[in-house]
Amino acid sequence: MSDYLPAELIVEILIRVPAKIVPRCKCVCKRWNSLISNPHFATTYLAHSKQRPYHLFRRLDQETGEELFTLHPSDNPDNPFPRNYHLKNLNRSDPALHINLLRLAQEVKDKGGFFGCSSDYIKLHCPYKTRYYQYFHQIVGSVNGLICMVDSYSIDDNYYLWNPSINRSMQLPRPKYHDQSRSNSFFGFGYHAPTDDYKLVRLVYLNNCNSPVVDIYTLNTGGWCSAKAQPSAQYIIDSFGSVVVNGAIHWLAHTPEDAHHNLIVSFDLGNEGNEVVFHEVPVPKILEGAPPLSMMNIAVLNGLLTLHGGQPEKYVDRGGRDDRLVKEHAVWVMKEYNVVKSWTKLYVIDVGENFVRVVGFKKNGELLITMDDDKDKGLLLYAPNSRRGRPYTDLYISGLSRSFYLDNYVESLVLWKKNTEK
């Protein structure tokens, strides 16, 4: 074969080989070794795998305390967790259809739900366990096949990078210790194209200071450096997570009390040196004033900045009690980056008071959500603007609701050549 096909076609074949088999191909012959060792190969590989994306899902099994990661193909807009996956083989002309539907639903539940009945996923083996049983990692983000996780259940955090497609991982060194006895850390993880580098950014708020210390880890140097933000960068971060859009990490925040307004704070991944700069991106005008958007979260939908969750009612003075009244749960999308007028409310999430959060968005427009009530329903499917009787469907996926995590994922060869652990 090697003599028969020109190099470019051997490459066309090799970029379609699953990532974990690529290293094996290096051992086949010198020609393949040289093609794969070429620095352009990893780039070409990634460009192709971006056309075959996956979803990454994480749940904590409450019975075993295990953190379970799975990859789900993304080719069908109904993925992951298609509605009625368990009805695939149903005979629609069956006169006893309705009775059989109920029976099937029970069978599915008994067999362990989606993960017991479907084979449309790949099990991953996470090389790291959290230091406390029944706790799960904070997944900062995933880009180009690299997942960044933090185990923060101890005095010192543990930071990890993991590429499940080639099963390579590494624990990062710890950053300089700041006196952070009573402070919070916020994280972001992204890829900086100009330097072909991956960066983990940590914001640390020391006591009584609203301008954070910024620690930046870069994969190319393998180390951390600390920087101070500009003095005017006084922000209180509200979103638990962060997203990367236009080469910058974004968090939802508000400015301190006197000048209170809600906003999105952005940190360009190109920031380096001792002084770093934050920029501001506006939230929808109607959400700008008090109270803080602590019931909302930030996401990316089709490359657009997205805000979702409980929109607060204005503060209601109930004799000193600060009630967190939620006006409605909605999903907003910023159609043009940094243009406040382009914020568009896509829809309202109408499932009643027990709504907790959006876990993820499916390409077909449906949402994966969790609710909070007596029976822990697990992961639910919600169809916005649906005219169905009951707006959400049980997916029979069990686990600790707080642990559900969904993100996009692509196979890659990143971390292959790093001096890593297995």
The residues of the shown chain that bind another protein, judged by CB under 8 A, are 1-2, 4-5, 8-9, 12-14, 16-18, 20-31, 33, 73, 75-76, 78-79, 82-84, 87-90, 92, 120, 166-168, 364, 422
User: In the complex with another protein, which residue's Cβ is closer, 85 or 159?
Assistant: 85
CB of 6 to another protein, least distance (A): 8
By beta-carbon proximity to another protein, the closer residue of 30 and 182 is 30
- Phi/psi for 256 (5° steps) reads -60, 165
Closest CB to another protein among 62 and 167? Answer: 167
Min dist. Cβ of residue 362 to another protein (A):
11
Q: Are 305 and 264 in contact (CB under 8 A)?
A: yes
Q: Are 200 and 216 in contact (CB under 8 A)?
A: yes
Q: Would you say 259 and 235 are in contact if contact means Cβ atoms under 8 Å apart?
A: no
Smallest separation (angstroms) from another protein to the CB of 295: 32
Backbone angles phi, psi at 57, to 5 degrees: -125, 140
Q: Which is nearer to another protein, 118 or 180 (CB)?
A: 118
Minimum distance from CB of 92 to another protein (Å)? 6
Q: Smaller CB distance to another protein: residue 41 or 224?
A: 41
When the beta carbons of 77 and 223 are compared against another protein, the nearer one is 77
**How far apart are CB 96 and another protein at their closest, in Å?**
15
Residue closer to another protein, measured from CB, 57 or 191: 57
Distance CA 11, CA 8 (A): 5
Helix, coil or strand: residue 395? coil
Q: Which helix (H) or strand (E) element contains residue 276?
A: strand 275-276
CB of 131 to another protein, least distance (A): 25
How many residues are listed for the chain in this entry? 422
Nearer to another protein, 19 or 201 (CB): 19
| Cβ at position 2, least distance to another protein in Å | 5
Q: How far is the CB of 304 from another protein (least distance, A)?
A: 24
H and E: helices and strands count for the chain? 6, 28
- Six-digit token pair at 39? 């620095």
Please provide residue 105's backbone torsions phi and psi, each rounded to the nearest 5 degrees.
-60, -40
Q: Which of 164, 154, 128 is nearest to 20 (CA)?
A: 164
Q: Which is nearer to another protein, 5 or 316 (CB)?
A: 5
Query: Which contiguous run of DSSP H or E holds residue 331?
Result: strand 326-334
What whole-number distance in Å separates Cα of residue 169 and Cα of residue 343? 39
Q: DSSP for 214-250?
A: EEEEETTTTEEEEEEE-TT---EE--SS-EEETTEEE
| Integer Cα distance of 380 and 284 in angstroms | 28
State in angstroms the smallest separation of the CB of 77 from another protein. Answer: 8
Q: Which residues contact 315 (CB under 8 A, 6 or more apart)?
A: 290, 291, 322, 323
Distance of alpha carbon 72 from alpha carbon 56, whole angstroms? 6
